[in-house]
Structure 1
Amino acid sequence: MRAVQFSQWKTFPTIEEIERPAPGPGEVLLKVAGAGACHSDVAIFEDFGPEMPAAGLLKPTYTLGHENSGWIEEVGEGVTGIEKGAAYLVYGPIGCGNCDMCSRGQDTYCRNVGSKPYLAMGLGRDGGMAEYLVAPARNLVALGDADPVAAAPLSDAGLTPYHAIKSSMHKLSGGGKTALVIGLGGLGQLAVQMLIAMTGATVIATDQKTDAMERAAARGATTVPGGDGQAAAIRELTGGRGVDAVFDFVGVAPTVKLAMDTVAVLGRVTIVGIAGGAYEWSFFGVPYEAELLSTYWGTIEDLHDVVALYRAGQIEPEVEIYRLDDALEAYRKLAAGELSARAVVAPHGRD
């Protein structure tokens, strides 16, 4: 079968012919419906190298793609309750399965991550940028009759903002609450939709791109352009009080500062973007008891919730569909910043 392979550090991936995998005990083989192209993939083949701390878990060679959906093709030994041909979304992280974190579905925080040879499907283990994918049966979330191709990005681009929002819901309960979304790419656009679907908060959104803000406004957000006076304009929308829950989907130093400049007393700032921006904290430089924290991916329980929102029509990922033959062009455009929607590779077509 054909697959998009990451075969060497700091080297662009290639499409190769590899052997079609077979499911082992407790696993399934999926005919891939969709595989999302993520900025994390670009970091792996452009920026990372053998010197990084997690290199042993991400070292080549393997098939990329950690945002995956597909139809059941085969089931391995011991797998029951899975119908051939049914559509599923695939939870990407794979922990040890035995620690307290994994027992709660928090494979992203597995206590024994260092003992495994990979982080997740498409991140050290063969992912879904291929015609077929092997996954643990435990990692499947049923899609029912929902479109599995468009659903593929939900396993990361949907799961990550959902987990961040769910963790901050206590800051958004009650009347008169506000939320701010900084960065309106694929994750930020879904965050706007989720905040509107899940809370009664006024949702403020900001980005440097006019078209991105227009799309967020069409979903119900109040938008503020970047540039001079950005923080003041955001605070003005809150009556000067500040924002109760801020979600930064960029993570560079200026966006982290913007988040901390606009958060309210007792508010919360969650850094979702992994650009690595630094922030210099001082006691009197921030509102009292304002929280600043990071987040990472989400739990399989969260993914069930995300799929429920998708099946109910409350969220809709913005996708751009590519054939497997064009997967490298999708990655090129992603790396160049030329995409306005999530690139999804559909190896078997849309239908």
Structure 2
Amino acid sequence: MKAVQFRAHGRGPELVTLPDPVPGPGQVLLKVTAAGICHSDLSLMAAEPGTLSFAPPVTLGHEAAGVVEELGPGAAGVAVGDAVAVYGPWGCGVCRACAAGRENYCPHAAALGIRPPGLGSPGALAEYLIVDRPRHLAPLDGLDPVQAVPLTDAGLTPYHAVAESRHRLPPGSTAVVIGVGGLGHLAVQILRALTPARVIALDVTEERLSLARSSGAHEALLSDDAAPAALSGLTGGMGAAAVYDFVASPATTALAAGAVAADGHLAVLGIGRGSVPVAFGSLRPGVTVTVPYWGTRQDLLDVLALARAGRLSTRTETFSLDQAPEAYRRLSEGGIVGRAVVVP
């Protein structure tokens, strides 16, 4: 089969040919129908040797949708021909977190060598994908796989962040979304679907601000030197009840920290190496700061249900497997608005 791999630190993705995989006990083989491309893949390939919990080569792609091709011995709960999406943050399956469906916070996965597809285990940028257990599959139930596949991360992560904090967003409150890319434009839609809050979105280009408006943002602002004053004016100097930073550069985390209200919530979701100082006097009183990681299995079912109900729509651009290296190049240059999806 064809696959796109991270094969060496500091090098770009490479198209290779691998043997077709065979499912082992309890596993499921999918014929991939769509796979998402993510900024975190770029960080993976740029990492210094020895800094990752695994070594290359590894097939990329942690957003996956496909059709069940074959069941390994003992696998049950899905049938050949089922169209499914893949829940990516695999856990041990038996601890308290996993029993609650919160495998994204499994404390044992790393020590047991359990890694998400594309982030240590072979990923979805290939013609076939092995899924470790049927519980990590969710039915598409008629959803277009190209539209649905970004929801397994780019939708799941903001959904989890908003679901965990929506009690802080009553009528009359304000939520701020920093970064209107693949995750951010879905975050705007999720906030509109789950809360009555006014949504303010920020980004650095007019194209991204147009995407924010079309996604439902009430206000869209350039993220520049004037942004702190603009946010203060829009919130009457009080700050926003919740701020979701999908960039997390030093500049945006500083903006987020200054924009969150007393007793507010700040979620750091980007991978831009920014940080938020948490100490008395560094933030308004009562602020909570979280670093959400993907979402729960139930969150994924909820996200797909929102899409099925017409409440979520992903801005996508499609590529073939052969074109995947070019898609990564464009993503690194900021040339993808929304989410890049590979269709094998």
TM-score band, normalised by shorter chain = over 0.9
| Aligned residue in 1 for 2:14 | 14
Aligned mate of 2:216, from 195, 212, 220: 220
Taking structure 1 as the reference length, what is the TM-score of the superposition? 0.94
In structure 1, distance between residues paired with 2:31 and 2:184: 29
| Aligned residue in 2 for 1:244 | 241
In structure 2, distance between residues paired with 1:80 and 1:293: 36
In structure 2, distance between residues paired with 1:150 and 1:282: 42
Question: Is 1:177 the counterpart of 2:154 in the alignment?
Answer: no
Letter in 2 for 1:10: G
Question: Is 1:295 the counterpart of 2:272 in the alignment?
Answer: no
| Aligned residue in 2 for 1:279 | 276
Aligned mate of 1:96, from 92, 95, 98: 92
| Aligned residue in 1 for 2:48 | 49
Q: Residue 217 of structure 1 contacts residue 223 of structure 1 at CA under 8 Å; is this kept in 2?
A: yes
User: Any idea what the Cα deviations from partners look like across 1:202-222, whole Å, max 9, x if unmatched?
Assistant: 011111111111111122211
Question: Is 1:128 the counterpart of 2:124 in the alignment?
Answer: yes
Alignment of 1:29-44 (within 5 A): 29-44=29-44
| Secondary structure of 2:312 counterpart | coil
In structure 2, distance between residues paired with 1:215 and 1:192: 10
In structure 2, distance between residues paired with 1:60 and 1:25: 25
CA positional deviation for 1:83: 2.8
CA positional deviation for 1:109: 2.0
In structure 2, distance between residues paired with 1:81 and 1:268: 38
CA positional deviation for 1:278: 2.9
Alignment of 1:198-237 (within 5 A): 198-221=194-217, 222-237=219-234
CA positional deviation for 1:118: 4.5
| Secondary structure of 1:283 counterpart | coil
| Secondary structure of 1:265 counterpart | strand
| Secondary structure of 2:305 counterpart | helix
| Aligned residue in 1 for 2:304 | 307
Quote the RMSD (CA, aligned, Å): 1.4
Question: Is 1:84 the counterpart of 2:114 in the alignment?
Answer: no
In structure 2, distance between residues paired with 1:92 and 1:77: 22
User: Any idea what the Cα deviations from partners look like across 1:76-120, whole Å, max 9, x if unmatched?
Assistant: 222234232221110112222222222222222222233333421
In structure 1, distance between residues paired with 2:258 and 2:311: 31
> Could you tell which deviates more after superposition, 323-332 or 6-15?
6-15
CA positional deviation for 1:290: 1.6
CA positional deviation for 1:282: 4.7
Gaps of 5+ in 1: none
Q: Residue 185 of structure 2 contacts residue 338 of structure 2 at CA under 8 Å; is this kept in 1?
A: no
Q: Residue 269 of structure 1 contacts residue 293 of structure 1 at CA under 8 Å; is this kept in 2?
A: yes
| Aligned residue in 2 for 1:155 | 152
User: Any idea what the Cα deviations from partners look like across 1:10-53, whole Å, max 9, x if unmatched?
Assistant: 2222111111111122221111011111111111112x13331x
Letter in 1 for 2:55: K
Question: Is 1:329 the counterpart of 2:321 in the alignment?
Answer: no
> Could you tell which deviates more after superposition, 88-97 or 272-281?
272-281
Rate the CA distance shift 1:118–1:337 in 2: closer, same or farther, 3 A. Answer: farther
Question: Is 1:68 the counterpart of 2:64 in the alignment?
Answer: yes
In structure 1, distance between residues paired with 2:338 and 2:268: 21
Taking structure 2 as the reference length, what is the TM-score of the superposition? 0.95
4+ residue segments displaced more than 4 Å: none
CA positional deviation for 1:244: 0.4
User: Any idea what the Cα deviations from partners look like across 1:166-220, whole Å, max 9, x if unmatched?
Assistant: 1111101x32111000111110000000000111110111111111111111222
| Aligned residue in 1 for 2:257 | 260
| Aligned residue in 1 for 2:266 | 269
| Secondary structure of 2:212 counterpart | helix
In structure 2, distance between residues paired with 1:282 and 1:298: 27
| Aligned residue in 2 for 1:145 | 142
Q: Residue 92 of structure 2 contacts residue 109 of structure 2 at CA under 8 Å; is this kept in 1?
A: yes
